[in-house]
Amino acid sequence: MDNFTFYTPTRYTFGRGAEEKVGEEAQRIGMKRVMVVYGGGSAVRSGLLGRVEKRLEEAGISYVELGGIEPNPTDPKVYEGIDLGRREGIDGLIAVGGGSVIDTAKAIALGIPYDGDFWDFYAGRLVATTALPVGVVLTIPAAGSEGSGNSVITKLDGLHKISLRTESALRPKWALLNPELTFTLPPYQTASGIADMMAHIFERYFSTTPDVEITDRVAEGVLLAIIEEAPKVMAHPDDYQARANIMWSGTLAHNGICGTGRREDWVSHFMEHEISAVYGVTHGAGLAVIIPAWMTFMADHRPEKIAQFGRRVFGVTSHDDRTAAFEGIEALTAFFRSLGLPVSFAELGIKSPDIPLLVKKLHENKGATIGGYYPLTATETMEIYKLAVR
Ligand code: NZQ
Ligand code: ZN
């Protein structure tokens, strides 16, 4: 096990009615005038936005709104939010939504106190250390941004989708998680969220660092819970207990607990980010396509941990690592299919993907060699994208 620092300062309030605490939570950290950020309309239609704003008013906190954040959020909304926030003199942001809304709020929180272009942080020219505080009312368990220090924004000019990672600057100060708010999710979004949270565990689990049995077992435990609960939420979208288990899994998958003490990988995410940047697909659905392809490549090049996953999570019994790895991949693919997820480019709706373009952008954005489990060059990532065509 490697040395590590584990710091997750987000305060979580979980359960029915959690969103009612928004005024209290905002007050507790001294917010007085906030920006309420939301998406394309689900929070308005469900009445959630109105409830949140009422609670803020009752707590004596004034607000301005920034709505219309789209999935795979882009930089123009961030610039708009920075201008609005400065004009209105806000001292914090409240994201009501999923990863796209939260990540936009985080980018604005970073941009307001900074004199230059917020993209400097995403481009790696500066390290992010200061931001306005962000609170979250989560409506979709998926990206895990409610507990992560990351923000993923696409720069429209060149379609660069970049994940900015910070240790603590961008971790929300608090997050309110009410599983009931997820009852209205379309099945495809529920399923894509499940693939995304599983991917967040895989990126940490597929590691060459030895002797991390505790972290392996935590990761396997969360994966097993997701696999057990996922069919229930698909069959009964208003099953509170199943939704609750899935919602908390989404947070645990990405708050860092599944990665402690080891080197992580993240290639599947890097490869998927290029797909959702260019083709605008749902991030988790893109992962359901890339992950089996990445694992298939690894079964031939570094099968040990893929085999362990197959044995411990899907109960495959082959002794030979390569065979067990392939059996595990088959079981995972069948699981994704059972949720109605695509597992190939064609099923994702991309008939002839521009693979050379994806590979070029991938290595421009991430470097010549990428990944911690089995470092990959452009020739190899090209091979993996091709495996995803099927
Ligand atoms: O915009 P509205 O109308 O709210 O609809 C949204 C959107 O269409 C809908 N939705 C959300 N909650 C709902 C609901 N519909 C009905 N009922 C509800 N309760 O779901 C759609 C997807 O929303 P989005 O916020 O895009 O989903 P998600 O949480 O999957 O976020 C995806 C974004 O997060 C990034 C992804 O790349 C992508 O841009 N990621 C962020 C990470 C992070 N910050 O740590 C890590 C992840 O790996 C990921 O890359
Ligand atoms: Zn993800």
Task: List, chain by chain if needed, residues with CB within 6 Å of any ligand 1 atom.
Answer: 39-43, 71-72, 97-101, 103, 139-140, 142-145, 148, 150-152, 181-182, 184-185, 189, 193, 196, 254, 269, 283-284
In 3D space, the residue among 76, 54, 74, 72 whose CA is nearest the CA of residue 63 turns out to be 54
The distance of Cα 58 from the centroid of its chain, to the nearest Å, equals 32
Quick check: 131 and 109 in contact, CB under 8 A?
yes
Q: Ligand 1 centre from 324 Cα, in Å?
A: 34
Which tens digit of pLDDT belongs to each residue from 247-267? 999 999 999 999 999 999 999
Written as six digits, the tokens of 149 are 């220090």
Mutational pocket test of ligand 1: of 110, 152, 275, the residue with most ligand atoms within 8 Å of the beta carbon: 152
DSSP track, 121-176: HHTTSS-------EEEEE--SSS-TTT-SEEEEEETTTTEEEEEE-SSTTS-SEEE
Q: How far apart are CA 119 and CA 122, in angstroms?
A: 5
Mean pLDDT of the chain: 98
Which tens digit of pLDDT belongs to each residue from 206-227? 999 999 999 999 999 999 999 9
Q: Ligand 1 centre from 131 Cα, in Å?
A: 22
Which tens digit of pLDDT belongs to each residue from 54-72? 999 999 999 999 999 999 9
Q: Is the pLDDT of residue 390 over 90?
A: no
What is the C-alpha R_g of the chain? Answer: 20
Q: Is the pLDDT of residue 156 over 90?
A: yes
Q: Which atom of ligand 1 is nearest to the CA of 73?
A: 39
Written as six digits, the tokens of 351 are 């008939």
Quick check: 148 and 196 in contact, CB under 8 A?
no
Which tens digit of pLDDT belongs to each residue from 323-351? 999 999 999 999 999 999 999 999 999 99
Which tens digit of pLDDT belongs to each residue from 279-312? 999 999 999 999 999 999 999 999 999 999 999 9
Ligand nearest to the CA of 197: 2
Paired with 35 in beta bridges are 64, 93
Q: Ligand 1 centre from 17 Cα, in Å?
A: 21
Q: What is the pLDDT of residue 358?
A: 98
Q: Ligand 2 centre from 54 Cα, in Å?
A: 32
Q: What is the pLDDT of residue 65?
A: 98
Q: What is the pLDDT of residue 203?
A: 98
Ligand 1 atom 39, closest CA: 72
The pTM for the full model equals 0.98
